Structure formats: C-alpha cells, structure tokens
Structure 1
Amino acid sequence: KKIDYLIHLGDFTQLKVLTTLQEMFGKDKVIAVLGNMDNHQLKKILPENLELNLFGHKTFITHGTGGPNIIIKRLNKLHDLTDYEVVIFGHVHRPYNERWRDGKLYLCPGTPTDKTFTDVNSYGFLRISKGKIEPEIIYL
C-alpha cells in the first residue's frame, strides 16, 4: 500500500531498525516514539510522545505503559487527551481498534514480529482524509 507516513510506536530495541525503516521509506515519512525496550542511542533521539495534526485530525502518539486491560485508562490518567480525536499507542503488542464513548479512536496496531508477548501478529493501517478516519488492523 502507498503510505504518507509510517508511524512506529517504539520498541525498536536498536538504532539500526529505525535507520533501516528511514532508508526504506524516507526519513521524512517515518514518525517514531520511544518504547520501553529501546536502547540508550534511541533514548537520545526519540520523544516519548508526539502530537500531530494528520489531515485536520488532532492525533496523540505514544508507546504507553501498563497491561492490556488498563492501558486506555492509564493513557487518560497520564495525559490530557481531551482535544484529541485519535490516540495511537503500542506497548501491549496486541491489536486494538475501538472508538470509545468519549468519541476518540484508540488504535494499537499490535506487533508484526513479536512472539513473546502475543500469539497474534499484526500492524495497523490508518486511512485519514479531511472528513474521515478509517482504521484497519491487518493480521499476518
């Protein structure tokens, strides 16, 4: 699929993974945040959170903390997400795609590679236009 951006939610573990993605897709297309498994080199260059305006939709991007049953609650406790339409997070390595009663889309793409913390591999595809947000989880 043609993409405008590749959003990586951390746990690269080493700098080479990030630089390889930047070489493949272009440095300006790779948006990334720090994960809890990332090394000291990545800690120097990656932010913990990002706030983006994606085609008119205010979006919050973070790796996240906590178990899969509490991560949404924890995200709202640690961050003021009031003004965001889309919250994209990682950490739990399990796919999640749901619009909550607060109207926000909470999206976790899962992981395309990890076999330790999950038995399902996936990634997310987010199609965004001025008037529409269409999230999709692709299972591998």
Structure 2
Amino acid sequence: MSDTHLPRRAKALPAPLLDEIPHADVVFHAGDWVDTATLDLLESRSRRLVAVYGNNDGPELRARLPEVAYADLGGVRFAVVHDTGPARGREARCAADFPGGGVDVVVFGHSHIPWDTTAPGGPRLLNPGSPTDRRRQPHCTYLTATVADGALTDVVLHRLPPRT
C-alpha cells in the first residue's frame, strides 16, 4: 500500500485491507503515512513491514523510516521508495536508479495511480495506488502478490468499496 494520508484523507484504513494484513508474510508501505499511529498499527499487525517515508511525512516518521528500503524475499529483490517522478520516462529513470539487475521490483507511491510496468532491462515497477485517497481514480486500491521459486506472481490490484 501507499499514500494512506491518515487521518487527513480518511479516519482509518479500510476494513478489507486491515483484514488481509495478518495473512501477509510481508507488508509494504511506500510512504505518505502522515501519522505515526498508522505506522504503529501496521508494525503491530504485520509479520514483517518494509516501509519508507514520503514527502508528506514529518520528522517523527522520517526518524523511524528510511527514504529507500530494500528486501530480499524468496530470491526476489525489492526496493521501496515513495516517488519515482513523472510517469513520462519512469521506466528509464528507475532502470538508471536501480542498475545492473540489483533490484527486481520497485514498489512506489506518490501519484495515487496504480501502475504495473517493467523497465526495459530494469525492474518491474508497482504502484498500489491509495487505499484511502483515490484522487482521480475510480477506486481506492492496494496490491497483493506472491513470491514463489524466485519469481513474483499473482500480482492483483484490489479495488476497495467506497467509504460510507
């Protein structure tokens, strides 16, 4: 997930997303938490949390989180970062920022727009959108995926029901 912006854009994380967290081996958050309570919640409910701060995160979150996080899961190397810049040229930029096959997947946020592409000769780029602030998108979203036998499979964009 990314761009939760709590409590500014919503009061809480959506129940369907919270219900999935204990079932995940790893939870990624690509920044723009805004509050430390959400970080505390995910740390308490996740088996493992890989997370970064975003441009809207203040000193408390920046003291607890890196700008870029790395994780090797079952032979798939992940990088998590908040902002990869404009959509135009993103693949080339990410291939240059994460060169030489050092990273297989870059999870990023910032735009609130779901994204799934692969940079030529570079990493797969995944943006889960936002579970709390859909902006110009039709739905609030998050992603799930499976790592098996050194490969990322079953990447699914989940649409959340509208808030009531």
TM-score (norm 2): 0.73
In structure 1, the partner of 2:25 is 4
Number of aligned positions between the proteins = 137
Aligned match for 1:69, one of 73, 79, 88: 88
Gap regions ≥5 residues in structure 1: none
Does the 8 A contact of 1:122 with 1:137 survive in 2? Answer: yes
Gap change, CA 1:99 and 1:67, over 3 Å in 2: closer
Counterpart Cα distance in 1 of 2:33 and 2:80: 16
Aligned match for 2:75, one of 56, 60, 77: 56
In structure 1, the partner of 2:64 is 45
**Which structure is richer in relative contact order (CA contacts within 8 A, separation 6 or more)?**
2
User: What SS does the aligned partner of 2:98 have?
Assistant: coil
Residue 66 (structure 1) shift: 2.4
User: What SS does the aligned partner of 2:94 have?
Assistant: helix
In structure 1, the partner of 2:4 is none
Gap regions ≥5 residues in structure 2: 1-19
User: What SS does the aligned partner of 2:117 have?
Assistant: strand
Does the 8 A contact of 2:92 with 2:120 survive in 1? Answer: no
Measured on the aligned residues, the alpha-carbon RMSD in Å equals 2.0
Matched, 1:102 2:111: no
TM-score (norm 1): 0.84
In structure 2, the partner of 1:36 is 55
Counterpart Cα distance in 1 of 2:121 and 2:74: 21
Counterpart Cα distance in 1 of 2:44 and 2:55: 24
User: What SS does the aligned partner of 1:91 have?
Assistant: coil
Identity fraction in percent: 28
Residue 30 (structure 1) shift: 1.7
Comparing 7-16 and 126-135, the one that deviates more: 126-135
Does the 8 A contact of 2:36 with 2:61 survive in 1? Answer: yes
In structure 2, the partner of 1:136 is 156
Gap change, CA 1:84 and 1:18, over 3 Å in 2: same
Aligned match for 1:121, one of 126, 134, 140: 140
